[in-house]
Amino acid sequence: MLTGPDHLEELAGKRLPRFLFDYIRGGSYGEETLRANRGALGELKLKQRVMRDVSHIDTSMSLFGQAASLPFGLGPVGLAGMCARRGEVQAARAAEAAGVPFCLSTVSVCDVGEVAAGTTKPFWFQLYMIRDRAFLADLLHRAAEHCSVLVFTVDMPVAALRYRDFRSGMSGAPGLKGQLRRAMHAMARPAWSLDVGLRGAPLSLGNLKPVLGSKAAMQDFAGWIMRNFDPSVTWDDLAFVREHWQGPLIIKGVLDPDDAEAAVGAGADGIVVSNHGGRQLDGALGSAEALPAIAARIDGRATVLADGGVRSGIDLMKMLALGADGVLLGRAWAYALAVGGQAGVAALLQGFDRDLRAAMAMTGCNRLADIGPHLLAHSSIESADG
C-alpha cells in the first residue's frame, strides 16, 4: 500500500460509514486546532545537508525500558476496533511485528484481554479518570496484567462539542433517530457492514462492559462519557492512579510548560504534548507549536512524546527536531487500518520507516541523537524581510 497520507484518508472515507469516518477525522467546534496541527508542521522546513556518510542509519531507541525499532508508537484511538474487524487486535499485531509500541484506548472495541490474547508482548494502555473509582481500580488491575505503560489522558475534563458527530448521528441524534441515521450510513458501505458490522460483532466497548453491558448502543457511549468523566481531577489524584499502577506513567494532553513541570513534579515518567487531535479546546496551539517550549522546560527529566498532525516520516522527523523523544500516531493508523486491516497498518509503519530513514540521510543524520533544532531551516526570504 504505497500511498500518501491524503490519499489514505480518502480511501478510508470510501470504506467507512460516514458516522465513523467523521468521528475519526473531525475536530471540535470550528476545527481551528485540528487545522493548526497540520499547518504548524507544514510550515517547518528542514535543512538539506550533502556529502556526509549516511550509510549506517539507526532508527532504534528505548522507550520506557522497551526496545523500539522506530521513535514512535500507535497512540490510543477510541473505537478503532470499528475500522476493521476486531481492529485493535489487528493494529496491535502490526505494531508488535514492526517493533513499535501499541496503546489501547479505554474506549476500545476489543478489551485488554482480547488484545493480549492476539499478541505476545505487553502493550500500553490509555486511561481516563472516571468518577467510579472502584471500577477505575478494577480497570487498572486488568490492564496491569497485560500492559507495560499507562498513558493517562488529562485534557478531557468535559467533552467538547464536535459538530460532525452531531450531524452524523454519532452523538447528536438520540434514540431511534440516531440509530436509523447510523444504519443508513452503514448500508451505504455494504463491505464494511458485512466484514465489521456482522462478522466483527459485538461492536461494544470492551473495557467498559462491566458498567455498560455488552449490548450498549452508540449513544450510550457518548452519554456514559458525559456522566462519568471526572472534571474535578487535580494532580493530587495521581496518587490514586499510582496506588493501582506500578509501571511507567505518561501524562497525555499537555500544551503548557507549567503543566509539563507539574506532571514531572507529580511523578510522571513521560508526557505527551497533545491537544487531543484538535478534538477538545478549539483555538489552542498546534502540538508542534507547543512542543519546543515544553521540551526545553523538561530538559531530559522525563520522556517527551508528541502527537497531532503527524502523517508521514517527514512529519515525524520535524517533531523530533522540535525536541520530541518520540511521537504517537493517531488518525494515520486508523485510516490505514480501515483501508487494509493489519496489512494496511504494517504498510504504514514500513512507509514511516522508509521515509524517516530517507529524511535522516538527506539531513546528514545517522542516529536519532543527531536530530535536533539545528536541522530546522529558516527561509532566506523571511530573513531578508526581518
Count CA atoms within 13 Å of residue 25 on its CB side: 20
DSSP 312: S
pLDDT band, residue 385 (cuts 50/70/90) = very low
pLDDT computed for residue 211 by the predictor: 76
Cα–Cα nearest to 162, from 290, 251, 33, 39: 33
The total domain count for the chain is: 1
Of 5-14, 137-146, 289-298, 356-365, the poorest mean pLDDT is in 5-14
Rounded Cα distance between 103 and 125, Å, is 5
pLDDT score of 78 more than 60: yes
- pTM of structure: 0.94
Cα–Cα nearest to 271, from 251, 253, 290, 257: 251
The question of whether 141 is a catalytic residue gets the answer no
Residue-wise pLDDT for 42-58, tens only, equals: 999 999 999 999 999 99
pLDDT band, residue 379 (cuts 50/70/90) = low
Residue-wise pLDDT for 271-317, tens only, equals: 999 999 999 999 999 999 999 999 999 999 999 999 999 999 999 99
Rounded Cα distance between 328 and 177, Å, is 36
Residue ranges making up the domain that contains 173: 5-385
pLDDT band, residue 214 (cuts 50/70/90) = low
pLDDT computed for residue 382 by the predictor: 44
Residue-wise pLDDT for 148-204, tens only, equals: 999 999 999 988 999 998 888 787 666 677 778 888 998 999 999 999 999 998 888
146, 276, 374, 378: the active-site residue:
276
More confident residue, 372 or 206: 372
Whichever domain contains 163, its CATH number is 3.20.20.70
pLDDT computed for residue 174 by the predictor: 63
Mean pLDDT of 91-115: 97
Tell me the one-letter amino acid at 294: I
**What are the residues facing 67 on neighbouring strands?**
62
pLDDT computed for residue 384 by the predictor: 41
**What are the residues facing 202 on neighbouring strands?**
none
Rounded Cα distance between 196 and 110, Å, is 13
Contact 64, 248 (CB under 8 A): yes
pLDDT score of 380 more than 50: no
